[in-house]
Chain A
Amino acid sequence: MSLNVDKAIHNIVDEANSLIFCCDHTGKIIMCNKKFEETIGIPRDSIVGEDCLKVMYRSLLTTPGKEHLFKAMVDDAARYKRPNNFEGILTDGKGEQHIICWGVSPILTGEKQLEGILFLGNDITLIKEREASFRNIDETLKNIFLSIKEYALYVMNLDGNIIYYGMGSENMFGWQRNEVIFKHINSLHAYDDIAYKLPFILEQVRSRGRYELDSYFIKKGGESFPVSLTVTRFIDANGNMAGYIFMAKDITEKRKLEYQIFQSEKLAAVGQLVSGIAHEINNPLFVISGRTDMMLSAKPLGKKLKENLKIINAQINQIRKLVDSFLCFTRKIPPNTEPLDLNKVIKNVLPFLSYHKLPAKEIKVKKLLAKGLPKIKGDSHQLQEVFLNLLINAYQAMPEGGVLTIKTDSISDDWVLVEISDTGCGITPEGLKNIFMPFFSTKKEGTGLGLSICYNIIKNHNGSITVESQVGKGTVFTLKFPFIKK
């Protein structure tokens, strides 16, 4: 019976899917199993009786250059009679490498004397590869999260403390991770209305699972920006609610676009109204002016009457000019557009500036006109009107003198850019909001139609006009037109 057990043990060892060999207390290998024999590619007969360290060197049992570690483990097991584990790279008989986790165990007699050492090696190459790929996934996820800038993801636990502050959070809030992590969420939302709405938001998330709202966040520096915020439940591994996940998206660009659309719709509506009114005024005006003209040409005419009629006519002409400019506001672009060099259009406009009553103080005009500027499709008269308007505005913004810069350039293979900037009084934020609205004017004598007409003309050229200004520093108008592709 004992024979059978021995045989069974022998079979188990021999068939085991581990590398097993054993040496006596002098270091001579006394047995090895099939797996070991196959792996190192040397017949069993040539291994048994060999010094285990020699076999190690010859058969590359461990990482080349790290053999001393293997030796140290063996010595340690022999001297202190304790088992050890270590990992090394084994190069098999075919030259392939395996990561082996070796268990080195002393074999002791009943009197605790060292009889030999048992080596048991498990191939953990696949496990290691899998581990590495997991690490890669972690690394990839981290990189993905770090690359996302317009979203912020942060998590609050049930106590209201921030337990995760990741993705674009630092970028969005301006607060660094170490400044807010494990602090109460109100330290992030101290000045915006999230702190105020928080109880309501959390209530909604608890009952419905999620809550979305558009709001404003305030950065560390005090700058506010619009966000779209989604709050959902944070469920832990046990399925319990452990907090709230906040996902915020910066919607500044979206808001800008919406504002532009809103502006252009408003302008279109005003345009319709204005042209309707203008047409209604034109008829009676035509009759009045016709009648006064007829009266003026009738003879004889008293001196006093003639003077009065002339005054009436002059006033009518004033109204007519105004009505004409209303109609300009809704004017459609004539189809006879031609390829235009905007540099030329600008150069043609400059002499006209002298006809207008402009401030007497010295204004330096800097022309930075790009050479070989691509042509655009446009109406030269209308564009002259646009540039004249902008240039006159720039002059009028600098009653104490300054620098007027006109710059042209081509950008990104599509657009011709014109920048008209002054170092004048600037425009208030309130003024900037309404700047392209008809009848909005900051000048005593202005009709408030100039820039709204410019806006329409540029829109009809499929272009765009934007303005940036700082009170006391100056204003920059940036115009873009699509250029003609060859």
Chain B
Amino acid sequence: MNYKILVVDDEAPVRELFNDLFKKEGCSVKTASTGEESVEMVAKEDFEVVLMDIKLTGMSGLEALKQIKELKPATVVIMITGFGYDEDLILKSKEYGCAGYIGKNMSISQMITSFKLFAQTARAKVK
């Protein structure tokens, strides 16, 4: 796996964990701590996959997802959620074009598997 990834989460330990994990998997990783910052970064630079926490302070994860998909529709956005399952949020993010979601209640291996699946499927569609 060698995607160029942007991780968006307002908590530093979570950002660092994703950074370490995906670097270990062979990806190049950059991080942002707010929705606003992530939109700015996507505008300046191309990322293949954005991992976006659904719950952010300031601009919400949903709003950031919407703006990124408007800005660069080819970017694959995967949502991260601390919620076990929230129907409303998931339906809404699907509507805005997210490729899938990863729960923070998953184990690391489950999460990596899900990530790979979503990213591959979405990239295949783009191509």
Partners in one complex: yes
A283 x B14 contact (CB < 8 A): yes
Q: Tell me if B107 counts as interface (CB < 8 A to partner A).
A: yes
A426 CA / B11 CA spacing, docked (Å): 48
A287 CA / B14 CA spacing, docked (Å): 6
In A283-297, the 8 Å CB interface with B consists of 283-287, 289-291, 293-294
Given contacts A293-B107, A332-B88, contact A327 B17 (CB under 8 A): no
Q: Mark A316-338, 1 if CB is under 8 A from B, else 0.
A: 00001001100110011011000
In the bound complex, residues from chain B placing their C-beta under 8 Å from that of A282 are 82, 104-105
A323 CA / B85 CA spacing, docked (Å): 12
A307 CA / B13 CA spacing, docked (Å): 25
Q: Mark B86-106, 1 if CB is under 8 A from A, else 0.
A: 111000000000000000110
In the bound complex, residues from chain B placing their C-beta under 8 Å from that of A283 are 11, 13-14, 82, 104
From B11, B17, B20, B84, name the one whose CB has the most chain A CB atoms within 10 angstroms: B84
Cross-interface CB contact of A324 among B84, B86, B87, cutoff 8 Å: B84
A286 x B104 contact (CB < 8 A): yes
A328 CA / B86 CA spacing, docked (Å): 10
Closest to A317 in B: B107
A287 x B82 contact (CB < 8 A): no
Q: Tell me if B44 counts as interface (CB < 8 A to partner A).
A: no
Closest to B104 in A: A286
In the bound complex, residues from chain B placing their C-beta under 8 Å from that of A334 are 85, 87
Closest chain-B Cβ to A102's Cβ sits at a distance in Å of: 90
Interface size on A, residues (CB 8 A): 21
Interface size on B, residues (CB 8 A): 20
Cross-interface CB contact of B83 among A285, A287, A327, cutoff 8 Å: A327
Closest to B82 in A: A282
In A271-288, the 8 Å CB interface with B consists of 279, 282-287
B87 x A332 contact (CB < 8 A): yes
Q: Tell me if B71 counts as interface (CB < 8 A to partner A).
A: no
In the bound complex, residues from chain B placing their C-beta under 8 Å from that of A284 are 13
Closest to A320 in B: B105
Closest chain-B Cβ to A346's Cβ sits at a distance in Å of: 25
In the bound complex, residues from chain A placing their C-beta under 8 Å from that of B88 are 332
B17 x A287 contact (CB < 8 A): yes
Closest chain-A Cβ to B93's Cβ sits at a distance in Å of: 15
Given contacts A324-B84, A332-B88, contact A291 B11 (CB under 8 A): no
Q: Tell me if B43 counts as interface (CB < 8 A to partner A).
A: no
In the bound complex, residues from chain B placing their C-beta under 8 Å from that of A324 are 84, 105
Closest to B53 in A: A283
Q: Tell me if B109 counts as interface (CB < 8 A to partner A).
A: yes
In the bound complex, residues from chain B placing their C-beta under 8 Å from that of A328 are 84
A289 CA / B109 CA spacing, docked (Å): 11
A286 x B17 contact (CB < 8 A): yes
Closest to A328 in B: B84
From B17, B83, B85, B104, name the one whose CB has the most chain A CB atoms within 10 angstroms: B104
Cross-interface CB contact of B108 among A279, A290, A327, A335, cutoff 8 Å: A290
In A309-361, the 8 Å CB interface with B consists of 320, 323-324, 327-328, 331-332, 334-335
Given contacts A284-B13, A294-B20, A294-B21, contact A289 B86 (CB under 8 A): no
Closest chain-A Cβ to B66's Cβ sits at a distance in Å of: 22
In the bound complex, residues from chain B placing their C-beta under 8 Å from that of A286 are 14, 17, 82, 104-105
B109 x A293 contact (CB < 8 A): yes
Cross-interface CB contact of A331 among B13, B85, B107, B109, cutoff 8 Å: B85
Closest chain-B Cβ to A334's Cβ sits at a distance in Å of: 5
From B14, B24, B83, B105, name the one whose CB has the most chain A CB atoms within 10 angstroms: B105
Cross-interface CB contact of B86 among A291, A320, A332, cutoff 8 Å: A332
In the bound complex, residues from chain A placing their C-beta under 8 Å from that of B108 are 289-290, 293-294
Cross-interface CB contact of A335 among B21, B87, B104, cutoff 8 Å: B87
A317 CA / B83 CA spacing, docked (Å): 16
A320 CA / B87 CA spacing, docked (Å): 20
Closest chain-A Cβ to B52's Cβ sits at a distance in Å of: 15
A332 CA / B21 CA spacing, docked (Å): 32
Closest chain-B Cβ to A292's Cβ sits at a distance in Å of: 9
A285 CA / B107 CA spacing, docked (Å): 10
Closest chain-B Cβ to A282's Cβ sits at a distance in Å of: 4
Closest to A326 in B: B84
A273 CA / B13 CA spacing, docked (Å): 24
A291 x B87 contact (CB < 8 A): no
Closest to B18 in A: A290
Closest chain-B Cβ to A333's Cβ sits at a distance in Å of: 8
In the bound complex, residues from chain A placing their C-beta under 8 Å from that of B85 are 327, 331, 334
Q: Mark B1-44, 1 if CB is under 8 A from A, else 0.
A: 00000000001011001001100100000000000000000000
In the bound complex, residues from chain B placing their C-beta under 8 Å from that of A285 are 104
In the bound complex, residues from chain A placing their C-beta under 8 Å from that of B11 are 283, 287
A334 CA / B89 CA spacing, docked (Å): 12
Closest chain-B Cβ to A469's Cβ sits at a distance in Å of: 32
Closest to A285 in B: B104
In the bound complex, residues from chain A placing their C-beta under 8 Å from that of B109 are 293
Closest to A281 in B: B82
A283 CA / B88 CA spacing, docked (Å): 21
11 A-B pairs within 8 Å (CB atoms) are namely A279-B82, A283-B11, A283-B14, A283-B104, A286-B82, A286-B105, A293-B108, A294-B20, A323-B105, A324-B84, A331-B85
